[in-house]
Chain A
Amino acid sequence: MSAESRRTMDVNLVPLLPVVQVLVTALVVTVRDLFIKANESRGVLAFYSLVGLGLAAAEVVLLLGGKQESAFNDSFMLDRFALFFAVIFIFAAALTILTSIDYVRQAGIHEGEFYALILFATSGMIVMAAANDLMVFFLGLETMSIAVYVLTGMWRSNGRSSEAAMKYFLMGAYATGFLLYGIALIYGATGSTNLTQISAYMLDQPAEWPIYLIGGGFLLLIGFAFKVGAVPFHFWVPDVYDGAPTPVTGFMSVAVKAAAFAAWARILLYRLSPLDGDWVFPLWIIAIGTMTLGNLLAITQQSIKRMLAYSSIAHAGYLLIPIVVGVEWGGLPLLFYLLTYSFMTLGAFAVLASMAEGNEPRDGYSDFAGLGFKRPFLALAMSLFMLSLAGFPPLAGFTGKFYVFRSAVLSGQLNLAIIGVLNSLLSVIFYLRVIVAMYMEEGGAQGKSFRQAPFVYIAVAIALIGTIYLGILPADALNWSRQAFGSLE
């Protein structure tokens, strides 16, 4: 930053480009919606949204080539780290919209607002990943959260959707309180909300941190644990994930989770890493509790949607391993795992969404019985997603887990790696049950009609290609993850 720009307000709109692009698209979709008659097709809105996301992605790629940009006196940094996550968010939003096109129509969800809200949430997520200031982070968080609260409740003909939205909102507001209080304490201790200055303060006076700085750090930790659905702050997850429209569930379990982990990585793992020693043990407990409880409860579920909700808790547990491991070894595995997790989870939810018919969710194991020979492509894809989630090579889930467990071994926490693999074994039980239902049982899917849902097929195909590609040729994505985390330096 030059001396010139420090004197004046540091206004640099270039790094805001992707955020603005997504926001403008959201506004265009909202306004365009008003000019479509009630009984006319609103497919064009999805098209607008996808074009907008495509443009945003193109801008991200262009920005990746340039130098790292920051704006507003370092409070917003669109570095490679932020761009990495922007790609995940934009990608997740696009797949969610592709999955939703048929889904919202049959569920009677109002399309205009639906797509616009997904775009609003996406813009909030990019802000979260790029925020280098606690207030900016909070801004992004709320933009995302409020949009997702509404999305959860948009299936208005279904009572469980409204219940989920209410629950999510109350729990989310509660977590927000923790975060805000933590931010306040940290501000009180360090005199700044800017992360660069906070970490400079902590390094300058390593011995004299006021106790409420540590307290503030812990409150942030609890807030993040709420947002990613880590045990013991996970109680909202199953009901909310189950009640929300299925594409929204996929969006939440991938994009919302990734956004929370992005902020966690930048704020706690990287900037506040001097506090590592204080929270490594509680985090260790949280990580192990999250994977174990998630996997154990997933085994008992009768609905695949609820199973995936618990499995998403379990995966939050795996994602916590690199965070426990710390900044030295944990960065690359965290980012890479999030990438692999996005593909397989979005794919699984896309298949699940394609099953729904009217108010009948058809998400039980029995509904999947015999699907393997009724809809071979979707069943094959679902099998591969399940195998990948369980960590079978040569799929994305394996390479992701390999790096996560390796980081635990490298840092000397062999026990974490062992508990992690034993959890993988537990998870095999319920992931295989889906395959058992699809290929080895009869009934359920037989004799039922299925919608022709071409866009879901596209979404599933994209997710499938990603799942296989990251499993067989992970080298590029690994490099990319390494550079992304390295750009925090």
Chain B
Amino acid sequence: MMSAQGFGDLTLLLAIPVLGAAALLFLPRRQSAGLFAVALIASAIAFLWSLKIFERFDGGNGEMQLIERVAWMPAIGIQYLVGIDGISIFLVLLTTFLMPLALLASWSVRDKVKEYLIFMLLLETGMLGAFLALDLVLFYVFWEVMLVPMYFLIGVWGGTRRIYAAVKFVLFTMAGSLLMLVAIIYLATRHAQVTQVLTFNVLHLYDLHLPVEQQFWLFLAFALSFAIKVPLFPFHTWLPDAHVEAPTAGSVILAGVLLKLGTYGFLRFAMPLFPDAAIALMPYLVALSVIGIVYGALVAMMQTDIKKLVAYSSVSHLGFVMLGLCALNMQGVQGSIYQMLNHGLSTGALFLMVGMVYERRHTRLIADFGGLWQQMPRFSVLLLVVTLSSIGLPGLNGFVGEFLILLGAFRVTPRWTAWAATGVILGAIYMLWMLRRVIFGPLDNPENQKLQDLNGRELLILAPMMFLIVCMGVYPQPFLSRMQPAVDLTLKRIFAVPASPMAPQPDVGGEQKNDGR
């Protein structure tokens, strides 16, 4: 296993967007084309660099790889510690993949372009950092750092109720994360008491087996923070506001990546750190997930605004992801991770397309459209494909994820899974109904008769997404096989029976083997 003292490839990945942002700071404000070019190049380099990391990544190994460590606050054992495994690598790729597309889609931003691009790039570093961090304090830092650019993106470049949405977004997220901070400190303190090792390294903390009662509260603190981010019913109320008010690229990143940090947090931190509590509380999480699936779908069905419909569909889809995680078996968890990627692609694409049509018509109301097929055939075909991917048509990516999740969950809790399956049907209903009202039917609104079809830039944005939607639907094996060892290890951690609970763990050297020293 590779491990390095000092900074390495992963740090460079984190640094690329920041360097891009720093370069933007010194460029003249007037040349918005030049600013866009710099931002795009920076995000494209980050994507290529992440591909190189993917190449170096050993898919057959479930352990953390490419670990980099630097002492940060050595007196209390806080490190700059990053690494990657079969779970985070794909989420990192998703982030770096979506960011250039989101920037391309921001072409229509004309106001305060420089600041906009700087915030987008800082957001990218924040998200990547949260996926890579293995030190809990470092994770918390990135987790919060992410909030600020998103807050500005919604608050400055958003719609009419942008300030309300931006503040709500920050307050909701912080409400959860601050309690998580206390839990992090408490966990590390307990670990120091038991093992005499003061560390926030999550790979060491996995081996600490606290009494169930303590695990219970700590799990709740972590879970609240992640549940708000996912968002799990009933903590989802910030999401529709944030999505509707955010600029298109903000929505894409929010749905595509930010929400995944919640589910990723469950899988990486909350569940393996507090396995007994996680297993004990799983029925409640399953219930909340399934309620979220059905409720999100029902509310989505009633929406008159396309963007809001997509936003509520996210609540429903993320419910599936959570359900898969709660199954705590290979199919369920693999399906969840796969579904995280699918949701990033298809919902990201949906938001992009809603943005494209909004730029032309300046409305998102379903009632204002109809018959776009005749006027915008390219747009309509692509919207059809994305919608079908989103509702899980076999042959497209959504099917693989949903099928694995339902398969995994059914083995654990058939009754709740049956209810969750209705979410698939409801999903088909609201999506296809939306399609019928938007692209089919008569082209009777004179405003719509002047619409231009997608231009080259927009096709360029959507083409890679379409490619992946089809690829991941037809041939999921390369993805799943690389996830498997890491998922396997995580599940082993969750179901590991401690040799003697609460006994001090003298074998510090053995623990350290885990993180590759």
A residues with CB within 8 A of B? 373, 387, 392-394, 398-399, 402, 405-406, 409-410, 414, 417-418, 421-422, 424-425, 428-429, 432, 435-436, 439-441, 474-475, 478-479, 482
A472 to B, closest residue via Cβ? B72
Closest-CB distance, A424 to chain B (whole angstroms):
6
B343 at the interface (CB under 8 A from A): no
Residues in B with CB closer than 8 Å to A418 are 179, 182
Chain B residues, Cβ within 8 Å of A409: 182, 185-186, 189
Contacts of A394 in B (CB 8 A): 141, 145
Given contacts A394-B141, A406-B185, A409-B189, contact A422 B73 (CB under 8 A): no
Residues of A within 8 A of B137 (CB): 402
CA distance A482 to B76 in the complex (A): 12
Question: Does the CB pair A425–B174 fall under 8 Å?
Answer: yes
Contacts of B166 in A (CB 8 A): 436, 440
A441 to B162, CA, bound (A): 11
CB–CB A482/B167 < 8 A: no
B141-A393 in contact (CB<8A): yes
Q: A475-B71, A475-B72 are in contact. List 14 more A-B contacts (CB 8 A).
A: A392-B145, A399-B73, A405-B181, A409-B185, A418-B179, A418-B182, A422-B178, A428-B170, A428-B171, A429-B167, A432-B167, A436-B155, A478-B73, A478-B75
**Which residues of the other chain, A, contact B141 by a CB distance below 8 angstroms?**
393-394, 398
Query: B54 near A: Cβ within 8 Å?
Result: no
B140-190 contacts to A (CB < 8 Å)? 140-141, 144-145, 147-148, 151-152, 155-156, 162-163, 166-167, 170-171, 174-175, 178-179, 181-182, 185-186, 189
Per the bound structure, the CA–CA distance linking A482 and B73 in Å amounts to 13
Complex Cα gap A406–B184 (Å)? 10
> With A406-B185, A439-B152, A478-B73 in contact, is A373–B112 under 8 Å at CB?
yes
Q: A393-B141, A421-B179 are in contact. Are A440 and B155 (CB under 8 A)?
A: yes
Q: CB distance B171 to A474 under 8 Å?
A: no
Asked if B181 and A402 sit within 8 Å, CB to CB, the answer is yes
A-B pairs, top 8 by smallest CB distance, nearest first, are A421-B178, A393-B141, A440-B155, A409-B185, A417-B182, A406-B185, A393-B144, A440-B163
A417 engages B185 (CB within 8 Å): yes
Give B74's nearest chain A residue, CB to CB. A475
Contacts of B71 in A (CB 8 A): 475
Of the listed residues A394, A405, A436, the one surrounded by the most CB atoms of chain B closer than 10 A to its CB is: A436
Contact between A479 and B75 (Cβ–Cβ < 8 Å)?
yes
Q: Do the beta carbons of A428 and B182 come within 8 Å of each other?
A: no
- Give the shortest distance, in Å, between B359 (CB) and chain A (any CB): 22
What chain A residues lie within 8 Å of B185 (beta carbons)?
Answer: 402, 405-406, 409, 417
Contact A474 B73 (CB under 8 A): yes
A436→B163 contact, CB < 8 A: yes
| Known contacts A392-B144, A428-B170, A474-B73; A414 and B182 CB within 8 A of each other | yes
Fill in one digit per residue for B59-101: 1 if any A CB lies within 8 Å of its CB, else 0. Answer: 0000000000001111110000000000000000000000000
Give Cα distance in the complex from A409 to B171, angstroms: 24
Distance (whole angstroms) from the CB of A78 to the closest CB of chain B:
25
In whole Å, how far is A47's beta carbon from the nearest beta carbon of chain B? 32
Q: Which residues from chain A contact B178 at a C-beta distance below 8 Å?
A: 421-422, 424-425
Interface mask (B103-137 → A, CB under 8 Å = 1, otherwise 0): 00000000010000000000000000000000001
Selected from B112, B163, B171, the residue in CB contact (under 8 A) with A429 is: B171
Cα distance, A373 to B152, chains bound together (Å): 13
Cα distance, A409 to B217, chains bound together (Å): 14
CB distance from A408 to the nearest CB of B (A): 9
- With the chains together, A429 CA to B164 CA distance in Å? 11
State the CA gap A479–B112 with chains docked (Å). Answer: 42
A393 touches B182 (CB 8 A): no
Q: Which residues of B contact A425 (CB under 8 A)?
A: 171, 174-175, 178
* A373–B114 CA distance with the chains assembled, in angstroms: 11
* Bound-complex Cα distance A4 to B15 (A): 62
**Known interface pairs A402-B181, A421-B182. Does A439 touch B155 (Cβ–Cβ under 8 Å)?**
yes
Nearest-CB residue, chain B, relative to A390? B174
Who on chain A is nearest to B114 by CB?
A: A376
CA distance A422 to B181 in the complex (A): 11
Q: In the assembled complex, which residues on chain B have CB atoms less than 8 Å from the CB atom of A410?
A: 189
- Whole-angstrom CA separation of A103 from B62 in the bound complex: 62
B383 to chain A minimum Cβ distance, whole angstroms, is 32
Chain A residues with Cβ below 8 Å from B148 are 387, 392
Q: What are some 7 contacts across the A-B interface (CB < 8 A)?
A: A392-B145, A394-B145, A421-B181, A429-B171, A432-B167, A436-B155, A482-B75
Residues of A within 8 A of B167 (CB): 429, 432, 436
Instruction: Note all chain B residues with C-beta closer than 8 A to A406.
Output: 76, 185, 189
- Please give, as numbers and ranges, the residues of chain B lying within 8 Å of A436 by CB-CB distance: 155, 163, 166-167
Instruction: For B186, give the chain A residue with the smallest CB separation.
Output: A409
Q: Which of B145, B151, B163, B182 has the most CB of A within 10 A?
A: B182
- C-alpha spacing A425/B224, complex, angstroms: 15
* Assembly CA distance A435 to B170 (angstroms): 13
Residue of B whose beta carbon sits closest to that of A418: B182
Give every chain A residue within 8 A of B163 (Cβ-Cβ): 436, 440-441
Closest residue of chain B to A437 (Cβ to Cβ) is B163
- C-alpha gap A440/B112 in the complex (Å): 12
Do the beta carbons of A432 and B170 come within 8 Å of each other?
A: yes
Which residues of chain B have C-beta atoms less than 8 A from A478's C-beta? 73, 75
